[in-house]
Amino acid sequence: MMFRVEKCFCLILFISAASVYGDDYKVKSISKKQFGWGHSPYWDVKTQTLYFVDIYGGSVNSYKPATKKLFSAKIVHGPHATTSLIIPYEGMENKFVVGVNSSVANLTWDGMSSTASNPAVIAELTENKTLHSHTGKADPMGRLWIGTIAQFYKNSSGGAQIPLNQGAEYMISGTGKVIKRIPDITAPEGLVWSLNKTLMYFANCYEGKIQLYDYDNESGDISNKRVIFDGPKMNVGGLPAGMAMDTEGKIWVAQFTNGTVIRIDPDSGKVLRTLKLPAEQVTNLAFGGKNLDVLYVTTSQLNKGYIPLTKYAGRVYAITGLMSSDSDDYKVTSISKKNFFWGQSPFWDVKTQTLYFADIYGGTVNSYKPSIRRLCSAKIVPARSAKSQGTVSAIIPYEGIENKFVIGVNNSVANLTWDGMSCTASKPAVIAELTPNKTQHTHFGKADPMGRLWIGTIGQLYKNGTGGLAIPLNQGAQYMLSATGKVMKKISNITSPEGLVWSRNKTLMYFANLFEDAIELYDYDNESGDISFKRVVFNGAKMNIRGVPAGMAMDTEGKIWVSQVTNGTVIRVDPDSGKVLRTLKLPTEQLTSLVFGGKNLDVLYVTSSQLDKAYTPLSKYAGRVFAVTGLTSSSGKPIVGYPGQRIVRI
Ligand SMILES: *[C@@H]1O[C@H](CO)[C@@H](O)[C@H](O)[C@H]1NC(C)=O
Ligand SMILES: *[C@@H]1O[C@H](CO)[C@@H](O)[C@H](O)[C@H]1NC(C)=O
Ligand SMILES: *[C@@H]1O[C@H](CO)[C@@H](O)[C@H](O)[C@H]1NC(C)=O
Ligand SMILES: *[C@@H]1O[C@H](CO)[C@@H](O)[C@H](O)[C@H]1NC(C)=O
Ligand SMILES: *[C@@H]1O[C@H](CO)[C@@H](O)[C@H](O)[C@H]1NC(C)=O
Ligand SMILES: *[C@@H]1O[C@H](CO)[C@@H](O)[C@H](O)[C@H]1NC(C)=O
Ligand SMILES: *[C@@H]1O[C@H](CO)[C@@H](O)[C@H](O)[C@H]1NC(C)=O
Ligand SMILES: *[C@@H]1O[C@H](CO)[C@@H](O)[C@H](O)[C@H]1NC(C)=O
Ligand SMILES: *[C@@H]1O[C@H](CO)[C@@H](O)[C@H](O)[C@H]1NC(C)=O
Ligand SMILES: *[C@@H]1O[C@H](CO)[C@@H](O)[C@H](O)[C@H]1NC(C)=O
Ligand SMILES: *[C@@H]1O[C@H](CO)[C@@H](O)[C@H](O)[C@H]1NC(C)=O
Ligand SMILES: *[C@@H]1O[C@H](CO)[C@@H](O)[C@H](O)[C@H]1NC(C)=O
């Protein structure tokens, strides 16, 4: 007779395709009911139902999110019977395997009635009746794994204590044979199998460890035990209990007594993320919901009477809004300690492996070669002072011409010859004035996919009544220089025109309208450079996102990285949904622009400013240029972006 419970694929599918970062997950209890010892949540895809047990309550429970209905049935198995898990049989309706007392049994239940069939015992796990079955799971073959644990007792000071090393982890073979797989365990808890079915992870709760075994899917044999996570040693609060794997192969762990769920990388053992719950005794968890993107978490109130428990103890929780976040281990370093006044328009040149950028009020163009860590600045106009109002706003090399650049200077676009190393450069040779209004100056600039220059203008910043910075409204514009050198105003009536990126297929243009806190999208004609059909794809204020969008850079996944001025953050935005996928923190607030660079185009260079220096206290990091490294996408692959596009012709 084949003993076979439903395969647990559904236990290890999870987070849908989302690859998003955000701390905006939500924790909600599915009902106000407090269970004594909620455990072993199981999400049934077929019936879209969450099943779980209350161990000391001796009940099995079901919850259908669609109807928000919770049902409980007490198991009839003598007084004070315990239940440890409930898993449906594959292909049979209303038929489950349950753990009751020290045995495994069949149960027939419609999932709604307050009574179920008497459990029909299949196998006794242990002769010792003071032990009872504990949590478990079906392995990738559909075989049941289930643990045993001794009874908690009250110690001399009234706390719950458990006899040590009395439990074990068992596997029920295909022929119904009980095989002890891991002996002498105090509290056997979570189990997960690697997606390729060659590894098994086991939570040794009492020791605070997650153990890894080689796993043979045919036989269910395990071997070669090693420890991949040691909570107490790593100073991670709580003890690992239930576990669930997500589609990225990362493991979510219920940290018993700590009120947390952590996500760990099973390869490194590192904690990637920590979620907080309002109950401390977090026992177990399972992904569920229509998209398998809800994390259902059971909790207990085992130590009731000994420690004060709140009304949240013992509830079952649904955590939603979880987005993948693996690499929080990106690094931010400044390329030098130099504080620029108003860094802007970073450009990564693949040919020379050099980062170029302008300091608008500093009046310089700058180059930085990471290979030799050399930063060079050449003065183009005198730095900002009462006497000088000169500005330099962008620097982009010409395609195919050495040491020749287009720059923005004052209200004009000009040619510049510079070797990228000297402190001096040629005098700028003006190509075109963008506006006759000399109080305006050029701002951020970039070449489009055709190699034409796009560059904005803005009014002069001034000090307002309280000494803060203000900018004349709607005085600026976004210009394009045609291949014949004609200045074409593309977007008028803009306070502060900022970042530009084009879709890879060259049909769309994204434009950061800083003052409106918006990213605008235009249809873009690559031949003519015409733009049309403006719509807003991102509105920070509406979405309650602090800071305002300035610079933009696109990665090879088509996502847009945006430097948020005034918030010290760089966000990664999905241009289709407008959603923020990720937030990076930098040590200064006024992040003006950014570009991908480095040999592999996996370094994000970010410029900043110290514009509000006299008004708000700025740190020693204000105005530095930063290199963000170690950025990886949810799949673990490095984030790679695009370099700057050189100017082809003006
Ligand atoms: C199950 O365990 C409880 C608690 O130990 C006990 O009272 C009950 O009699 C047991 N049931 C059966 C059928 O052995
Ligand atoms: C338990 O249910 C399975 C599947 O229906 C069946 O094959 C097996 O005989 C049952 N065992 C007992 C003890 O009822
Ligand atoms: C049965 O388990 C209890 C702990 O629950 C332990 O103290 C006792 O020694 C065990 N009895 C036998 C015969 O192993
Ligand atoms: C009793 O158990 C509690 C935990 O439930 C523990 O904090 C306490 O130290 C224990 N006391 C003794 C005397 O062992
Ligand atoms: C199975 O996946 C794990 C990672 O989850 C990996 O370390 C291991 O090499 C893979 N084994 C095989 C045979 O592919
Ligand atoms: C969880 O563990 C962390 C780290 O040890 C600790 O700072 C925190 O206070 C703990 N929380 C609870 C509720 O015990
Ligand atoms: C700027 O440089 C380009 C490319 O070398 C050249 O075609 C153009 O004539 C120059 N314009 C000025 C004003 O020097
Ligand atoms: C020139 O720009 C400034 C803002 O920088 C504005 O106040 C002024 O009205 C503009 N002058 C003309 C003639 O448009
Ligand atoms: C002046 O500008 C600062 C920002 O730079 C702003 O916080 C403040 O509210 C402004 N004050 C007035 C009177 O407009
Ligand atoms: C310029 O834009 C502002 C707000 O974006 C709007 O209120 C104003 O009417 C616009 N002016 C013109 C001339 O389009
Ligand atoms: C170009 O790419 C965008 C996404 O970046 C897509 O929405 C659009 O349909 C594509 N256009 C064409 C013509 O392929
Ligand atoms: C950035 O915004 C977040 C909220 O969106 C806020 O908590 C944080 O303090 C802000 N940081 C700075 C440097 O303004």
Predicted confidence (pLDDT) per residue in 337-355, tens digit: 999 999 999 999 999 999 9
In single-letter form, the type of residue at position 587 comes to P
- Give the residue whose CA is nearest to atom 4 of ligand 11: 503
pLDDT above 90: residue 467? no
Q: How would residue 499 be classed by pLDDT, with cut points 50, 70 and 90?
A: very high
Strand partners, 487: 481
The helix/strand/coil state of 406 is strand
Q: How would residue 20 be classed by pLDDT, with cut points 50, 70 and 90?
A: very low
Copy the structure tokens of residue 265.
């990388």
All domains in the chain, ordered by first residue: 26-320 (2.120.10.30), 331-629 (2.120.10.30)
Q: How would residue 2 be classed by pLDDT, with cut points 50, 70 and 90?
A: very low
Question: Against a cut of 0.75, is the pTM above it?
Answer: no
Residues 18, 572 contacting (CB under 8 angstroms): no
Does residue 268's CB lie within 6 angstroms of at least one atom of ligand 10? no
In sequence order, what are the residues at sequence separation of 6 or more whose Cβ sits closer than 8 angstroms to the Cβ of residue 66? 48
| HSE-CB of 405 using CA atoms within 13 angstroms | 32
* Pocket mutation for ligand 7, best pick of 415, 481, 487 (most atoms within 8 Å of C-beta): 415
In single-letter form, the type of residue at position 427 comes to K
Q: Which residue has the higher pLDDT, 323 or 199?
A: 199
Name every protein residue with a CB atom under 6 angstroms from any ligand 3 atom: 128, 130-131, 150-151, 163, 166
Q: How far is the CA of 455 from the centre of ligand 8 (A)?
A: 18
pLDDT above 50: residue 9? no
pLDDT for the residue 487: 96
Nearest-atom number in ligand 1 for the CA of 129 is: 5
DSSP 568-624: TEEEEE-TTT--EEEEEE-SSSBEEEEEEESTTS-EEEEEEB-TTTTTS---TTTT-
- Give the residue whose CA is nearest to atom 3 of ligand 4: 159
- How large is the average pLDDT for residues 57-82? 96
Mean pLDDT computed over every residue of the chain: 92
Q: Which residue has the higher pLDDT, 593 or 17?
A: 593
Residues 40, 85 contacting (CB under 8 angstroms): yes
Query: Burial level of 469, CB count in 10 A (0-12/13-18/19+)?
Result: middle
Nearest-atom number in ligand 9 for the CA of 615 is: 5
Q: The sheet that has 580-585: what strands, in order across it?
A: 548-554, 560-565, 569-573, 580-585
pLDDT for the residue 82: 97
The helix/strand/coil state of 217 is coil
Residues 73, 109 contacting (CB under 8 angstroms): yes
pLDDT for the residue 612: 83
pLDDT for the residue 384: 87
> What ligand has the least distance to the C-alpha of 556?
11
Residues 398, 406 contacting (CB under 8 angstroms): yes
In single-letter form, the type of residue at position 360 comes to I
Does residue 567's CB lie within 6 angstroms of at least one atom of ligand 12? yes
Query: Burial level of 293, CB count in 10 A (0-12/13-18/19+)?
Result: buried
Q: Which of 15, 641, 626 is nearest to 375 (CA)?
A: 626
pLDDT above 70: residue 584? yes
d(CA 512, CA 520) in angstroms, rounded, equals 6
Category of 614 on φ-ψ map: left (φ > 0), alpha (ψ -120 to 50) or beta: alpha
pLDDT for the residue 13: 22
Poorest-pLDDT segment among 174-183, 198-207, 384-393: 384-393
- Give the residue whose CA is nearest to atom 12 of ligand 3: 128
pLDDT for the residue 636: 65
pLDDT for the residue 3: 37
d(CA 384, CA 52) in angstroms, rounded, equals 68
pLDDT for the residue 125: 97
- Give the residue whose CA is nearest to atom 1 of ligand 7: 415
- How large is the average pLDDT for residues 15-34? 63
Q: Which of 341, 380, 587 is nearest to 469 (CA)?
A: 341
User: C-alpha 10: how far from its chain's center?
Assistant: 23
Nearest-atom number in ligand 11 for the CA of 558 is: 5
Q: How would residue 247 be classed by pLDDT, with cut points 50, 70 and 90?
A: confident
